[in-house]
Amino acid sequence: MPVLQVKHLTKVYGAKYAGAVHKALNGIDLTVDEGEFVSIMGPSGSGKTTLLNLLAGLDQPTSGEIWLRDQSVTALGADQLALFRRRHLGFVFQDYNLLDTLTLAENVALPLTLDGHKGPHVRERVIETVRFLGLADDLDRYPYELSGGQQQRTAVARAIVHQPDIILADEPTGNLDSASSQALLEVFQRLNQELRSTILMVTHDPFAASYSGRIVFIRDGRVFSQLDRDGTQRREDFFQEILSSLAVLEGRPS
């Protein structure tokens, strides 16, 4: 059953003004099923970030539709979009975006409190989530007291604490060293396998992408090719396959 359906999505920048018109997205179609872990790859400027902004309702598409379960995202007003984001979406950024003024537990609790939850069960839910991510000892520390990897795992906790329908991740390993990256990707894998979370991750790191089950390559604002990992395939082999696909995508001889 599809969680997310994108139909012929187009985004044109600069249309209002005379001069350069830039088509960031040029009729993209995409479907993500429940429990899938999908990566989106593509060269710089291929429209990855634009796509993510549109999915999150942070920007308005020029044309096309976005459906999350039975809800058309494009039909929502500003306040409804806010409610939609706080209940159905989890967001992980490249640069963590934690608030330095709040502790780890408080940062994680933000989406719940925002939806009007309060009292002890908020804390319980936070502890449960944080324990899953191996951060239980750092609950009352501040972001600047944590390592980059811990900060990013905190951000993941914040993205899943309210049990969203889909987690959107924008280059989540971009600021991490390789050990922390690997740890984070394993967290994603566990989320996907143990909690059946649906994850859509934008990345240009083939290693990160090799943890997902399906890869969508985009170029010039449209889907260029797709790559599925079959159930038994080893990650290392999938990684090699990604590298060859990327070579084709970027027009290099492999």
Interhelix angle 178-194/148-160, rounded to 10 degrees, is 20
Q: Is 86 in the site for other proteins (CB under 8 A)?
A: yes
CB 38 within 8 A of CB 29: no
Q: Which is nearer to other proteins, 91 or 217 (CB)?
A: 91
Q: Is 52 in the site for other proteins (CB under 8 A)?
A: no
Q: Which residues, in sequence order, are bridge partners of residue 90?
A: 167
Say how far apart CA 246 and CA 251 lie, in whole Å: 8
Among 63, 113, 163, 244, the residue binding other proteins under the rule CB under 8 A is 113
Tell me if residue 43 falls in helix, strand or coil.
coil
Say how far apart CA 55 and CA 4 lie, in whole Å: 9
Least distance (Å) from other proteins to the CB of residue 1? 24
Dihedral pair phi/psi, residue 126, rounded to 5°:
-60, -45
Among 15, 75, 99, 243, the residue binding other proteins under the rule CB under 8 A is 99
Say how far apart CA 172 and CA 149 lie, in whole Å: 10
Among 42, 47, 61, 111, the residue binding other proteins under the rule CB under 8 A is 111
Say how far apart CA 155 and CA 40 lie, in whole Å: 20
Q: Is 214 in the site for other proteins (CB under 8 A)?
A: no
Q: Is 158 in the site for other proteins (CB under 8 A)?
A: yes
Among 15, 21, 58, 195, the residue binding other proteins under the rule CB under 8 A is 58
Q: Is 116 in the site for other proteins (CB under 8 A)?
A: yes
Residues within the interface to other proteins (CB under 8 A): 53, 56, 58-59, 78-79, 82-87, 89, 91, 97, 99-102, 105-106, 109-111, 113-119, 122-123, 126, 143-148, 151, 158, 177
